[in-house]
Chains A and B, each alone.
Chain A
């Protein structure tokens, strides 16, 4: 078990490196950069002082160097204007738009992002579980069809429009303030019961919108696994021996089917995190999603790069956890059987 864990972690490192390189490449793809844009904008004001300031910044963040060097400086593997001062050293970079370190911009948003993603994962499981089981047990019945339609409906509806509709309705019917993750009075207040209540109330709409999109995949997986199990010999035997239907399903096939179901977090996380970006933009949530979009639009590259990396790392960790869970539960994977010739 330990060796498996070490092996997985070791393979994660080159993966991370390639991902970071690809991210940097993608960010640099559109022409121009934030500072050049700003310099040109300020020229019209004749704000010479500000221009001088920006020229300093260009040198400061090594923006006048070739691509590969910039990438390595960002990583912290090459000496920049401040020596080795990149991601590896814990410097997340500087945001030009907000004029403060990326850590200060994104830091407060990370807990809320994680909370949002966790709540959607919970929602997905809660929805997918009953529907998946029912659909497998009563295959081809009208109940099956109805339940799966409900489950898939969330996937079928475009998130952004659904979000806007739900926002409006929750405002009309429940008086919930539109968008955001809490009422505006609490935005700068420390945590309190009232603030918590406000957050929970505002979490409902985004969780539903993002979560319903992920439910379909989960339902399908649970259904497929359970169907596989239900067709096996031991189920027929147990039935013949007179075991009651519910007990029959709960005691053996369900447990077997649950293993991959739980371990499939690895598949769920990328789509949830990605889906939450768009929905966060529409619903104006203080998570990393809108920040990323704005940063990509204005070419605030270190901010965009960091958020992308954060999202990718979140995904990789999720996949690692799911692989570990699978390894714990299923010795075949751990021992690598079936993959060698």
Chain B
């Protein structure tokens, strides 16, 4: 019968075709949990540990990442200062006083020679009482790499003379020039990194220990302990740093070897810094203490140290690390200020602060400006720590 009207049967049509209904129907099997199911990315995110999330967030702050890389490179340099620096800090060349930096050249009179420096042509201008140095283009001094140069005592343990970079035999390699007694500035900067960079770390550890301890007590127990510690914090914060530094530094006996004086200074800087960390710890603890998981732990009978260690600590570790990182540059700058006041380290110990205080005069600023070169690593390190700290702080609260 051709006149019979038969309704269309709901046929299984392939997806994508409009078919008779015009809807799009997904041919895939129906999954009732599809809304709750996670995509692979989301799965990764939600299953990731706290630290992983922080790392991802940290990575977004590109400057912080670069800062971290730079700092790691610098710290790697610290144990090998003797090898990297072409000279030791005691080395003096009294034939090259106030010598300007030697530039590195590759081509000499058109032909490629490899990295080299030109020797100095020297004249003492008695009219203007100034050392005059010119590059002597006849003296080509190729730079040696992985060479045997000036002897040194590696970490004061054994003698060696292996250097990464040395001057040519009988030549000079003053890439940042020399100072008024003929010390190489570049070597000074490299050795100085050792002290200036570690001052921050050691000082901050002391500050951290004190800050965690006292801030923890104040935040967790509250009440009288809190009030007392808060008063202590307020008092220490309103005492100006300068005279504290002066008085405490004056108490360090000068017979102490430079190493001990260094530790003494870091202790002083750390002692003055703990209030900042303690405050941060305290405020964090105060809020975290009220969280349900913490209260649950207390009700279940955990003693305070367990509660703090297992439950509260993970919550604010990242914040503390961020705060601590931000305090380190203050210590580095503090060391330079102490050296400026003649209270910190002194030669033969060389730190960036010592070098900068030797450049603190009009002669260095106007006539021999390369003496101010240590200012650059100081700026770089302080900036790096600041950016690193910012990045860490941004990443510190991953569940925000």
Footprint of B on A, CB under 8 Å? Answer: 11, 14-15, 18-19, 22-23, 26-27, 29-30, 139-140, 145, 148-149, 152-153, 155-161, 164-165, 168, 216, 220, 224, 227, 231, 270, 273-274, 277-278, 282, 292-293, 296, 304, 308, 311-312, 315-316, 319, 338-341
Contacts and interface: CB of A to CB of B under 8 A. Distances in A.
Interface string B347-389: 0000000001101111001100000100100111011001100
Contacts of A224: 393
Given A161-B372, A278-B242, A338-B286, A319 B365 contact: no
B286 A339 contact: yes
A155 B235 contact: no
Contacts of A168: 362, 365-366
Given A29-B251, A216-B386, A339-B226, A18 B235 contact: yes
A241 to B, nearest CB: 23
Contact of A14 (B62, B231, B246, B372): B231
B244 A26 contact: yes
Contacts of B390: 148, 220
Contacts of A312: 238-240
A301 B226 CA distance: 34
Interface residues of B, number: 52
A161 B360 contact: yes
Contacts of A165: 365, 372
B131 interface: no
Question: Sorted from nearest, which 9 A-B pairs have the closest CB atoms?
Answer: A156-B382, A315-B238, A156-B379, A26-B247, A145-B63, A274-B240, A311-B240, A29-B247, A158-B336
Contacts of A270: 237-238, 240
A155 B286 CA distance: 31
A107 to B, nearest CB: 20
Contacts of B231: 11, 14-15, 18
Contacts of B105: none
A153 B383 contact: yes
A148 B391 CA distance: 12
Interface string B217-260: 00000110010000100110111111110110011000000000
Contact of B238 (A19, A156, A159): A19
7 contacts: A152-B386, A155-B333, A157-B378, A158-B356, A161-B372, A277-B240, A312-B239
A148 B387 CA distance: 9
B287 interface: yes
Nearest to A220: B390
A215 to B, nearest CB: 11
Max chain B CB contacts within 10 Å: which of A22, A160, A312, A338?
A160
B60 interface: yes
Contacts of A311: 240
Contacts of B92: none
Interface in B55-100: 60-63
A155 B390 CA distance: 14
B12 interface: no
B297 interface: no
Given A158-B375, A168-B366, A341-B223, A278 B340 contact: yes
Nearest to B389: A220
Contacts of A15: 231, 234-235, 238
B382 A316 contact: no
A168 B361 CA distance: 11
Given A14-B231, A304-B243, A231 B237 contact: no
A216 B382 CA distance: 11
B379 A157 contact: yes
A106 to B, nearest CB: 15
A312 B242 CA distance: 12
B217 to A, nearest CB: 14
A18 to B, nearest CB: 5
Interface in B40-68: 60-63
Interface string B293-332: 0000000000000000000000000000000001001000
Max chain A CB contacts within 10 Å: which of B222, B242, B251, B394?
B242
Contact of B375 (A157, A277, A316): A157
A117 to B, nearest CB: 12
B337 interface: yes
Given A156-B329, A160-B340, A308-B240, A140 B386 contact: no
A315 B235 contact: no
Contacts of B128: none
A152 B387 CA distance: 9
Contacts of A159: 337
Interface in B127-166: none
A16 B393 CA distance: 34
Contact of B243 (A11, A153, A292): A292
Nearest to A316: B238
A27 to B, nearest CB: 7
Contacts of B238: 15, 19, 270, 312, 315-316, 319
Max chain A CB contacts within 10 Å: which of B63, B235, B340, B387?
B235
B372 A155 contact: no
A164 B250 CA distance: 26
